[in-house]
A = this chain, B = another copy of it.
Amino acid sequence: VRHTIQVRVRYADTDAAGIVHYAQFLAYLEAARADALRALGLVRESIVAFSLGTMVLDATLRYRSSARFDDLLDVAAWVTEVSATRFRWVYEIHRNSDRTLVLTAETEQCWSDGVGCSREASLPPWLDEALQRLGDVSPS
């Protein structure tokens, strides 16, 4: 399941070159993750638990075209891999007005024990189920 949110670029998101600052996109991706869970019907407590309880292990961002103040962006997010303890999201951001590709990205996350990735504990069942639904993962 590919989930898309719309983000209006705020003036605060821009930098002196007049474009969205390269760090700001990570906040957009994060917002798309949270909204994807919300769209599945997860309650607020679960969305908060997801955001607090998972660690980002790596992020890869490919900047394809600049975005500017007041642009309306479509930020799509979906899940590509879910293992017992880790999962990977993929993202695409397009400018809504002309479908220009602005950014593609991937992040890998794990379930944390507060210090690092939990080695023993697997993903909570509610999260595993949600991630399966957000991925193109055939049930075994």
Interface residues of A, Cβ cutoff 8 Å to B: 8, 10-12, 14-19, 21-24, 26-27, 30-31, 34-35, 44, 47-48, 51-52, 55-63, 65-66, 68-70, 115-116
User: In the complex, are the beta carbons of B10 and A12 less than 8 A apart?
Assistant: no
Q: Closest approach, in angstroms, between the C-beta of A52 and any C-beta of chain B?
A: 5
User: In the complex, are the beta carbons of A116 and B23 less than 8 A apart?
Assistant: no
> What is the bound-complex CA distance between A19 and B114, given in angstroms?
11
Total copies of the chain = 4
User: In the complex, are the beta carbons of A17 and B70 less than 8 A apart?
Assistant: no
User: In the complex, are the beta carbons of B63 and A17 less than 8 A apart?
Assistant: no
Q: Closest approach, in angstroms, between the C-beta of A122 and any C-beta of chain B?
A: 20
Instruction: Please name 18 pairs of A and B residues whose Cβ atoms are closer than 8 Å in the assembled complex, sorted by A.
Output: A10-B27, A10-B30, A10-B34, A11-B16, A11-B30, A12-B15, A12-B23, A16-B18, A16-B19, A17-B52, A23-B26, A23-B27, A34-B70, A56-B63, A57-B63, A58-B63, A60-B61, A66-B115
User: In the complex, are the beta carbons of A34 and B58 less than 8 A apart?
Assistant: no
Q: Closest approach, in angstroms, between the C-beta of A78 and any C-beta of chain B?
A: 19
User: In the complex, are the beta carbons of A60 and B63 less than 8 A apart?
Assistant: no
